[in-house]
């Protein structure tokens, strides 16, 4: 195999690994305890009761990261 083919294969493998890691991150289960969920709900109460109630249910780490990013923009 020539050098160019090795680089293409390595790049393809790297892309597949990154895609796998992203899919795993977006489907990770919510491991927060009950007290952590209540704390998150209380922190989001000023944004509205519906936002606070959303924090009590199962939320993936990606959803919580999105909440944090939206909170930074305010």
Q: Give the pLDDT of residue 73.
A: 64
Which residues in the chain land under pLDDT 70? 1, 73-74
Q: Give the pLDDT of residue 32.
A: 83
Q: What is the three-state SS of 4-68? A: HHHHHHHHHHHHHHHHHHHHHHHCCCCCCCHHHHHHHHHHHHHHCHHHHHHCCCCCCHHHHHHHH
Q: Give the pLDDT of residue 8.
A: 95
Q: Give the pLDDT of residue 21.
A: 94
Q: Give the pLDDT of residue 54.
A: 78
Q: Give the pLDDT of residue 74.
A: 60
Question: How many domains does the chain fold into?
Answer: 1
Range(s) of the domain holding residue 13: 3-72
Q: Give the pLDDT of residue 13.
A: 97
Give Cβ neighbours of residue 45 (< 8 Å, ≥ 6 apart).
51, 52
CA separation for the pair 70, 74 (Å, rounded): 7
Dihedral, CA of residue 40, residue 42, residue 43 and residue 48, to nearest 10: 110
């Amino acid at each position: 195999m020539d050098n160019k083919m090795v680089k293409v294969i390595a790049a393809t493998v790297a892309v597949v690994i990154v895609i796998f890691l992203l899919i795993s991150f977006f489907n990770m289960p919510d491991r927060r305890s009950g007290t952590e969920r209540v704390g998150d709900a209380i922190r989001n109460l000023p944004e509205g009761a519906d936002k606070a109630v959303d924090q009590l249910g199962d939320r993936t780490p990606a959803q919580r990261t999105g909440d944090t990013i939206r909170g930074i923009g305010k």
